[in-house]
Amino acid sequence: MKVQILGTGCPKCKKLAELTDQAAKELGLELEIEKVTEVAKIMDFGVMTTPALAIEGKVVLAGHVPAYEKLKEILVKAGPVGGPDAEETGGCSL
């Protein structure tokens, strides 16, 4: 899963990157983390306040560093825990 940290490198932007990496490891998610620091590219996402987090090119939060548990919730909703080899639970099989 591709995650983009949008920010100019301020302390809050660095904290969001650090927490995102930590949460992904704790959840067993395989992330490709890209730090987007160029203002023009950040604005291409429609973001005017940083830090911001985009998952697969979609902005999921902007303007603050969320609580750690909230960040984990965001990551879980965005992708399967355990990566592509995670065991499926529930669902139907044909």
Q: Cite the active site residues.
A: 10, 13
**CA dist., res. 23 & res. 20, Å (int):** 5
Three-class SS state of 30: coil
Question: Cβ-count burial of 4 within 10 angstroms (0-12 exposed, 13-18 middle, 19+ buried)?
Answer: buried
